[in-house]
Every structure is written in structure tokens, then in C-alpha cells.
Amino acid sequence: MTQSHYSDAPASSIPARHTLSILVDNEPGVLARVAGLFSGRGYNIESLTVSETEHEKHVSRLTIVTTGTAMVIEQIKHQLDRLIPVHRVIDLTVQGDAIERELALVKVTGRGEQRSEALRIAAAFGARTLDATLNSFVFELTGASEDIERFVRVMAELGIAEVSRTGIAAMSRGAEAL
């Protein structure tokens, strides 16, 4: 007999980052149920986005980025799945290389050379300028989280006044749908 059940393989005890897509009935309190489950059972939420995706069917889609060991991630999925308003839970990380994007609004203030530098950097990152005054810009950037972090880091040098990020929206590649 092996000791399979106890030999916690080192690989499984290393926390990994997982992106989960959850389809839920868009009823009052459903977000509190999901968020409460994470806080009540001591799981991490790194990012959470939620919005109604199919208005007629009252279905919302949540995207949650979380970290945990394989056992914890499995628990999170089962625990989510047994919430009554939850239709489906999909682990995009297990399914393969999913597309993950987030949107950031970045307000940069400054005068003179800093302004033109900010514009040049925004152009380099492919950010759109949503608002401009004599001493400020608001940029919109959509991209992978790392791109946004890079952008925010660079802009910080020039004087960031405010950052607002949506958190991650994600989808698997290919023809298969939820």
C-alpha cells in the first residue's frame, strides 16, 4: 500500500493562481454570497469582477482570481458550486491559456515637459486619452494586468493623481463556450 493520500506532493502544496468564471442567477445578494464564502472560509480574492451578461435570463458572470494549493482550489470550486444560485463554475486556468484583460483609468497631473512625456508614454502603451485639461490627463488602458501595472509604474514617475481598475475579465480561447 502506498501512502498516496497523505504524501502531500510538494507540487500540490505550492499555492497557484487560478482564474474562475462563475455563472450565477442575477438575484439580490448573490455577490454577497460569493464574497462571504471567500471571507468565511478564509480564501483569497485577488480580483473580482461582476456584471450581468444575459439580461433576459438574469444571468451574471463573475470572474474571480484567487490563489491556493490544489486542494484549496478544488474546495473553492466545490463550495461555489453548491451555492444555490450558481449555474456553473469554470476554472479557466485548468482549461489552458485563457484571455485575461482589465481596464484601467489613470489620471496624471503635471505641467510642461511632463505633459508631453505622459502623452508619449500613453501612445507607446496604446492608451486612449479620455480627458485633457491644462494640467491633467485621464488615460484609458485595456490590457493584461502586467501591462497595466507597467503603465501605472511609469506614469507614477510623472505624477499620478488617481488610478481606477476594473479587475480581470476572462474567457477561454477557441470555439468552446461556457
Q: Which residues bind other proteins (CB under 8 A)?
A: 1, 3-6, 8, 25, 28-29, 32-33, 36, 40, 71, 74-75, 78-79, 81-87
**Alpha-carbon distance values, 60 to 27, 54, 119, 143, 158 (Å):** 9, 7, 37, 22, 38
Nearer to other proteins, 82 or 120 (CB): 82
Nearer to other proteins, 6 or 97 (CB): 6
Written as nine digits, the cell of 47 is 480580483
The H-assigned helical ranges of the chain are: 10-13, 30-40, 70-81, 92-95, 113-125, 145-158
CB of 19 to other proteins, least distance (A): 20
Written as nine digits, the cell of 80 is 461555489
Q: Is 134 exposed, middle or buried (0-12, 13-18, 19+ CB in 10 A)?
A: exposed
Torsion, Cα 57 63 69 74, to 10 degrees, reads: 10
Nearer to other proteins, 85 or 159 (CB): 85
CB of 52 to other proteins, least distance (A): 16
CB of 5 to other proteins, least distance (A): 4
Nearer to other proteins, 40 or 112 (CB): 40
CA distance 93 to 18: 5
CB of 16 to other proteins, least distance (A): 16
CB of 36 to other proteins, least distance (A): 6
Nearer to other proteins, 81 or 131 (CB): 81
